[in-house]
C-alpha cells in the first residue's frame, strides 16, 4: 500500500519526504488555495521537482470538456511526474470519461477524482484511469459506507484485471486511514496533520521517556562503580 500526502504545503511535503514515508502528493484547487498557492503552474512545478519521480496530482479547473483536455495537456508539460485529475462529471453532471480515455490514450496519467460510488469507479476503470480517487470522508458525510465502496472497488478491479489503482482521499480521521487500509486501498492520501496523529501515542512517549531515564540511571551507576 502506498501513502500519498494530501497537501500543497512544501514545508510539510519536505518533512514527510525526509521521514521516507510518502510515495506521492495529491492536491486540488481548494488545497492549493488554502496552502497559499495561487499560481498553480509555479506551485505544481516546485512540488513536482521536489518529489520526483513520485507522482503529483494536479486538478483541472474548468467545466468544459475541451478545456479540460487542453489544461491537462498543459499540466503534463510542466513535469514528467504530473498526474492530471479529472472529475467523474462536471458541475452540471456531464460525464468526463471521454476526456480520461483520450488523455490515457495520449500517454498521460489520469487520476479520476471525486468518486463517491462504486458505479463511478467501474466507469473510470473502463475509461482507463491510472488512479481513481474515492472520497471516503465525503461518502461518510452523507451516511454512506466508505469502507464498503473501497472494498467492492478493489475486489472488482482485481477480479476483472483492470490497471486502475484506488486512492482513498478525503480523510477526516486516523480511523478513516485504518479502515481504508483494511478495506484494501492501493493508496491512501493523507492530510499532514493525520500522518502526525497516526505516528503519535501517549504510551509510546511515556515508554520512551522511561527507557531514557533508566539508561541515564545505568550510566550514573557505571560512573559510581568506576569511582569505587
Ligand atoms: C485529494 O485527492 C482530494 O481532493 C482531497 O482528499 C479531498 O478532501 P476533502 O473531501 O476533505 O476536501
* Ligand 1 atom with least separation from CA of 113: 2
- Ligand 1 pocket, residue 29 CB under 6 Å: no
Q: CA angle, 193 as apex, 113 and 3 as ends, to 5°?
A: 50
Domain ranges of the chain: 2-200
C-alpha dihedral sign at 90, 183, 131, 20: positive
Give the per-residue pLDDT at 225: 74
- Atom 4 of ligand 1, nearest CA residue: 28
Give the per-residue pLDDT at 227: 73
Q: What is the pLDDT along the chain (228 residues), one digit of tens a residue?
A: 999 999 999 999 999 999 999 999 999 999 999 999 999 999 999 999 999 999 999 999 999 999 999 999 999 999 999 999 999 999 999 999 999 999 999 999 999 999 999 999 999 999 999 999 999 999 999 999 999 999 999 999 999 999 999 999 999 999 999 999 999 999 999 999 999 999 999 999 999 999 999 999 999 999 887 776
Give the per-residue pLDDT at 226: 72
Q: Are 51 and 81 in contact (CB under 8 A)?
A: yes
Give the per-residue pLDDT at 179: 97
Q: Are 83 and 44 in contact (CB under 8 A)?
A: no
DSSP class of 89: B
The set of cell numbers assigned to 209 is 521517556
What CATH architecture is 2-200?
A: Alpha-Beta Barrel (3.20)
- Atom 9 of ligand 1, nearest CA residue: 170
Q: Which residues of 58-94 are buried (b: 16+ CB within 10 A; e: fewer)?
A: bbbeeeebeebbebbeebbebbebbbbbbbbeeeeee
Give the per-residue pLDDT at 228: 67
| Cα 179 to Cα 183: distance, rounded to the nearest angstrom | 6
Could you tell me which of 2, 49, 46 has the C-alpha nearest to residue 24? Answer: 2
Residues facing 26 on adjacent strands: 6, 57
- Ligand 1 pocket, residue 144 CB under 6 Å: no
Is 158 assigned a catalytic role? Answer: no
Give the per-residue pLDDT at 97: 98
Residue 25 Cα, ligand 1 centroid: separation in angstroms?
Answer: 12
Give the per-residue pLDDT at 200: 95
Amino acid at each position: 500500500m502506498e501513502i500519498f500526502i494530501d497537501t500543497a504545503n512544501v514545508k510539510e511535503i519536505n518533512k514527510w519526504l525526509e521521514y521516507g514515508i510518502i510515495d506521492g502528493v495529491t492536491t486540488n484547487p481548494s488545497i492549493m488555495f488554502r496552502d497559499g498557492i495561487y499560481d498553480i503552474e509555479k506551485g505544481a512545478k516546485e512540488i513536482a521537482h521536489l518529489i520526483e519521480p513520485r507522482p503529483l496530482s494536479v486538478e483541472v479547473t474548468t467545466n468544459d470538456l475541451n478545456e479540460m483536455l487542453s489544461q491537462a495537456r498543459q499540466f503534463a508539460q510542466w513535469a514528467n511526474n504530473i498526474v492530471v485529475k479529472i472529475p467523474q462529471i462536471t458541475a452540471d453532471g456531464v460525464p468526463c470519461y471521454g476526456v480520461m480515455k483520450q488523455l490515457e490514450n495520449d500517454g498521460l496519467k489520469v487520476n479520476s477524482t471525486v468518486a463517491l460510488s462504486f458505479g463511478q469507479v467501474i466507469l473510470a476503470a473502463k475509461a482507463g484511469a491510472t488512479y481513481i480517487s474515492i472520497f471516503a470522508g465525503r461518502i461518510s458525510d452523507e451516511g454512506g459506507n466508505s469502507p464498503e465502496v473501497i472494498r467492492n472497488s478493489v475486489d472488482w478491479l482485481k477480479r476483472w484485471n483492470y490497471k486502475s489503482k484506488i486512492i482513498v482521499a478525503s480523510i477526516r480521521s486516523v480511523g478513516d486511514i485504518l479502515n481504508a487500509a483494511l478495506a484494501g486501498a492501493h493508496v491512501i492520501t493523507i492530510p499532514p496533520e493525520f500522518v502526525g496523529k497516526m505516528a503519535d501515542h501517549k504510551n509510546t512517549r511515556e515508554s520512551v521517556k522511561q527507557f531514557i531515564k533508566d539508561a541515564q540511571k545505568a550510566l550514573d551507576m557505571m560512573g559510581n562503580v568506576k569511582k569505587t
